[in-house]
Amino acid sequence: MAKAAAKAKAKPAAYTRKRVSLGLDHVVRGETLIEEGRVPGRGIEFADTQTPGLILRVTPTASTFMLKTEHATVRLGEANRITVQQARDQAALARISLKRGRDPRRQVAAFEASLGHTGDEGAAAEISAAVDDTPAQTEADRRAHGPWLWRDLVDEFLAAKLPDLKPTYRKDYESYLRHEAFNRIRDRLVSDIRIADLEGVRNAVVKSNTVSAARRVVSNSVEC
């Protein structure tokens, strides 16, 4: 009984779910909870009542718009990079792509990256539309031919690195590169990641853990 209770206690709690008409107030609330370290448990999901499947997921380290459907979960962008209306628009486009058998992740990633670089929504939409008809890739094909996402880079690096480390150190080493703070860039193209993005990861680790942990995260990321 004691073992079963301990196992149940160790299991990550589900996100707290609230159905709302998403607005700027929810974005601000999420950012405030993160800044003050008051995000409850695993996090909160604000499910939009206007756009089916659109959620604002707030974790201790990031606030992100997501589209959740029966067959896929698509990261739409960070709440400090795209607006609620832009998230709704991207969710609608992503649904169309999914119905056509396409993978919308490159499309929405291109929109977020372009918007973050230029601030021009029209230009970002044009760039996004240019990759809209790109045939869906399998995980294996993307790993073999690109373009790589951050999680691809981490997986491939660890596969090569861990065998060279002492068995007792492997778990700790891997944990730094798989820290929850990396969720904000996990599905982003490696080519679109900037120093500011990694600094954001570092700062999130300082808030959620310690300065020394942040140093290890940075050190392992540089090596990666």
86/150 same-domain check: no
* Of 16, 6, 93, 104, residue with least CA distance to 55: 16
Q: Which residue has the higher pLDDT, 18 or 191?
A: 18
Cα gap 51→90, rounded to integer Å: 11
Q: What is the mean pLDDT of residues 143-154?
A: 86
Write down the pLDDT at residue 170.
Answer: 94
For 153, other C-beta atoms within 10 Å of its C-beta total: 15
pLDDT tens-digit series, residues 118-127:
778 887 777 7
pLDDT tens-digit series, residues 1-26:
444 444 444 445 688 999 999 999 99
Indicate the number of domains in the chain.
Answer: 2
Q: Which residue has the higher pLDDT, 161 or 117?
A: 161
Write down the pLDDT at residue 36.
Answer: 93
- Kindly report the pTM of this predicted structure: 0.61
Domain boundary among 104, 130, 156: 130
Report DSSP state, residue 189. Answer: B
Range of the domain at 38: 16-130
Domain boundary among 113, 130, 147: 130
